[in-house]
Amino acid sequence: MPQLQEATLVLRPKYKQETKKLTSRNVDSIKESPYQRKIRTGTTKSIHEGLLGGKHFEEQISVNRVTLPDGSTEDRVFNGGHRLVSLRKFFANKPDAVVYVNMNVYDNLSPDEERAEYTLLSKGNKQNTNDVVQAYKNEIPIYKIFQDG
C-alpha cells in the first residue's frame, strides 16, 4: 500500500465561516465598519424587497471581529453593508422573522488589512471615487479640514 506524503503547502482562508441567526433583537449587534462605502438606497431597496418577498440574498457578509479594550468582541461588517441595512429595514417590518446569514469572520484586522480585504472581495463590484474616499477618509488630511470646517 502506498504511503501518503505529507503536504508541503497547506492553504487556508484568512477567515472562519459562521452561520448567524439574525432577528430583530440581535441584528444591531453587527456594527458598520468606519470604512464602509456609501450605502446606495437603490441597492438596499432591491435587497429589502427581495427579503419581503421571501428571497434570501445568499451572499456571505464579511465581518472583522474586533477585541475591545474590555475584552469583549464586536463584529463590524466591512463587506455586506447594503445587506445589513436591508436586514434592519426588513426586521422593522417583520419583527418576528428570522434570517440565517453566512458570515466570513476575520479576527482583529487592522484598518489597512480590512480595506485590503474589502478591495479583494469587491473586485467584481464597480467602485467610484466616493467609495475610495470613504474607505480612506481618516488618512486624507484635506478631508478632515473640510469635515471640521
**pLDDT tens profile 70-125:** 999 999 999 999 999 999 999 999 999 999 999 999 999 999 999 889 888 876 65
Residue 16: all three cell numbers together: 472562519
Residue 88: all three cell numbers together: 434592519
Rounded to whole angstroms, how far apart are CA atoms 114 and 138? Answer: 14
Residue 32: all three cell numbers together: 458598520
Q: Has residue 55 got a pLDDT over 90?
A: yes
What is the pLDDT, as a whole number, of residue 149? 63
> pTM of this prediction?
0.76
Q: Between residues 142 and 92, which one has the greater pLDDT?
A: 92
**Alpha-carbon distances, residue 73 vs 20, 30, 117, 124 (angstroms):** 15, 11, 20, 30
**pLDDT tens profile 5-39:** 777 787 778 999 999 999 999 999 999 988 777 89
Q: Where are the alpha helices (DSSP H) in 21-63?
A: 41-52
